[in-house]
A and B are shown apart, each in its own frame.
Chain A
């Protein structure tokens, strides 16, 4: 198998910088997800790894060997696309056999390999059909078979599940993960869906406007986002962001959110002062980390008082029941805050609730640089 290294990788299309100075290392047999919104450069990165795009600057290494001048046919990569990219004029058999025919393998060997991979992916009965006669899930399997049949060193997948319906997507998600673990092929998986990336990948590289924001294991991305973009992109519903500033009163430090203040211990205040570029800050807290109670709980104190958990009274604005949870929308000043509450709490719109802020679950960002300071 292969270890992939991207070194100062840059791709420009005219004046547009699609990928900017990307440095990334994907370990042998690792499942790496490239995650980001549309236009962030993740597909461009993948196409440069495949050799279809030439980097404007920087290098791609396979096992420490620079492959910049290696054409796609010599890189031994298997690719799967969002649209499946099956050859519409060829039958399923010929689609899967295509990479082997190009290698000029003997016909018997081609037939044997195609049959083996088709049986493995349970599409053996579809070999005589044309792509137009297949469902989305079947086309996806054919695309996987075509990528697998050549026994690639690297698997490149460009949003392969985006065209499937929600139910099938969940099934295929698990199947691709199982397949990758079973075969141990180094895999680079491009997606804009953070759930896909979090559930499937060993590590995730988050991209924004061609720049790498953070590369880490899923838990680290969730628990320790490097900046506001990562914090907001990972998690559903997204992280709540509240503008605030650090103030000092009577030798105590507070985060002043306008409508209320949160007391913070000296060590956190020191960290903020050390890392922040100014006093303008953003408090980030995930909807599932904000606890909702109908009364002030015994372990909490009202906001501004010395306590690990501080609560603020608020009024319910909108409710979004999900069955297993309910998303409560409430307003703190002008900012709409989302809270995931268990279904045991059955509040109604207009009712007063207590929002409990746990200092351990809070993230503080520098408003100017958007970087995490705590």
Chain B
């Protein structure tokens, strides 16, 4: 238990100061009352701490442990010699698929992040500020929400139909501009564009909701003041709204980075069996395939640890860039 947490707990527990009576009996009562409080706090926290340990702590520790082994289908923990062999394989490119997967992941995370954190910002500003008719704005938001509300398999089937080389709407429309016979899901770079669109269409709505709610919390008086000061709508967006959305942007970017690095469900549903050859095998899907198709659990754990480390480093960089520490500083108001 960290020192901070212990102090917090002590602060809560060490409450009873009222002495019931003097003497041994009073002391005993006070002691029992304090103990019962401690027991209450521990009992209250135990289910949560137990769940946290079982669901997160143990798998994390186990993954780290597994990454030093060659664990396969036999589920036996044989430590590798050298211990970091799996990591050498990843970083010394002993596995030729690693750089391909890494490139695909960078492309996927980078481009989809632009949609999920960037385009969603455009949508948020558009529907919360530019479009003054709230009914129209709500309908637009709903349209972007539809893919999020659709079950993954239905969503995947819709994309399979939409991109079908023969009768898919995308193929029909693209044939008008001379793009004929394109196998949207199999041929690079089209497959990668579809991969980005598939995930961007789902992801944009989440960021949009965060941005819309954040814009709605900006007091109207600030917008009015800016307008009276001579600001155009573009000035209001650029000089007032966007700077005030600094923390929501940090949050959405961090969250979406973590989500995208770890996401593969839609890609698996649409491209299963062809993902590597179609150029859409992202790191998390590669980790999944390594574990559950190649049955190399040890190597897969090492891939997962690398992925988690990269995600944490990226979030740390975001926090640094956005000045997260400053946000937590106490106010220095002089009254």
Contacts and interface: CB of A to CB of B under 8 A. Distances in A.
A81 B225 contact: yes
Contacts of A51: 227
B36 interface: no
A248 B221 CA distance: 58
Contact of B229 (A71, A134, A138, A146): A146
B224 A103 contact: no
B333 A135 contact: yes
Nearest to A130: B332
Interface string B182-224: 0000000000000000000000000000000000000101101
A78 B227 CA distance: 10
Contacts of B227: 50-52, 72-73
A85 B230 contact: no
Interface of chain B, main secondary structure:
helix
A89 B228 contact: no
Given A132-B332, A133-B332, A135-B334, A72 B228 contact: yes
B3 to A, nearest CB: 30
Interface in A126-166: 132-136, 138, 146-147, 150, 156
B332 A50 contact: no
B135 interface: no
B235 A102 contact: yes
Contact of A98 (B226, B232, B331, B333): B226
B122 to A, nearest CB: 20
A312 interface: no
B17 to A, nearest CB: 36
Contacts of A88: 222, 244
A79 B335 contact: no
A51 B229 CA distance: 12
Nearest to B244: A89
Interface in B44-81: none
B46 to A, nearest CB: 40
B324 to A, nearest CB: 15
Contacts of B333: 132-135
Interface residues of B, number: 23
A266 to B, nearest CB: 56
A99 interface: yes
A12 to B, nearest CB: 15
A83 interface: yes
Given A77-B228, A79-B224, A85 B219 contact: yes
Nearest to B331: A132
Given A81-B221, A133-B333, A134-B334, A87 B230 contact: no
A47 interface: yes
A87 B239 CA distance: 10
Interface string A53-91: 000000000000000000111000111011101011100
B230 A81 contact: no
Nearest to A50: B228
A108 B183 CA distance: 61
A156 B224 CA distance: 12
A87 B222 contact: yes
A134 B243 CA distance: 20
Contacts of B331: 132-133
Contacts of B230: 72-73, 99, 102-103, 150
B221 A85 contact: yes
Interface string B236-259: 000110011010000000000000
Given A89-B246, A134-B334, A47 B224 contact: yes
A99 B227 CA distance: 9
A147 B231 CA distance: 13
A103 B230 CA distance: 8
A103 B229 CA distance: 9
A337 B222 CA distance: 44
A77 B225 CA distance: 10
B334 A133 contact: yes
Given A72-B230, A73-B231, A52 B334 contact: no
Nearest to A73: B230
A155 to B, nearest CB: 11
Contacts of A98: 226, 229, 231, 239
Interface in A288-347: none
A102 B222 contact: no
Interface in A82-117: 82-83, 85, 87-89, 98-99, 102-103
B228 A83 contact: no
Given A52-B228, A99-B230, 20 more contacts: A47-B224, A50-B227, A50-B228, A51-B227, A73-B232, A79-B225, A82-B221, A85-B221, A85-B222, A87-B222, A87-B226, A98-B229, A98-B231, A102-B229, A102-B235, A132-B332, A132-B333, A133-B333, A138-B334, A146-B225
Q: Which 7 A-B pairs have the closest CB atoms?
A: A85-B225, A79-B228, A73-B230, A85-B221, A99-B229, A102-B230, A72-B227
Interface of B: 219, 221-222, 224-232, 235, 239-240, 243-244, 246, 331-335
